Amino acid sequence: MLSERRAGIVGFVVAAALPVALWHRPLTVIASDFRLEAEYLLTGWTGYSLIGLGLVFMLPVVLSIGRRPDSRLYPRGRNAYAAWGVCLYLLGLILASQVAAVVRPPQ
C-alpha cells in the first residue's frame, strides 16, 4: 500500500514537472510577450491550462490511493476524476507541443 501511494505521488510530480522540463523555452517566450488579449490567452496558454486542470482532476485520485472505498477521503467519482484528468492532461500535452513547435525564441 505504501509503495503504491509512493509510486502515485512520484508519478504525479513527474507529470507536473514534465511540461516545464520539455517546454521551458517556449514558456518563457510566451510569458515574456504577455498581453491581455483573447487571441493571445487562447493560443498561448490553453495547452498549459489544460495540463494544470488535468493535474487538478488527478489530485483526488492520487490522494485516495490505498484507501478503502468506504473512507470519507475516497472520492465517489474516482474513475471519472481519473478519466477527466488523463484526457485533459493528454490534450494539453498535444496542444502545448503544437504551440512549442510554432513559437520560435528570438535569436
Q: How confident is the model at residue 104 (pLDDT cuts 50, 70, 90)?
A: low
| Residues 63, 59: Cα–Cα separation, whole Å | 6
Q: What is the domain extent for residue 21?
A: 2-102
Q: Report the number of distinct structural domains present in the chain.
A: 1
Q: How confident is the model at residue 105 (pLDDT cuts 50, 70, 90)?
A: low
Percentage of the chain modeled with pLDDT above 90: 49
Q: What is the pTM of this model?
A: 0.85
Q: What amino acid is encoded at 32 in this protein?
A: S
How much of the chain is in helix, strand and coil states, percent to nearest 5?
75, 0, 25
Structural domain contains residue 107: no
The SS3 of residue 5 is: helix
Structural domain contains residue 32: yes
pLDDT at 80 exceeding the cut of 60: yes
Structural domain contains residue 63: yes
Handedness of CA 69, 74, 76, 79 (dihedral sign): negative
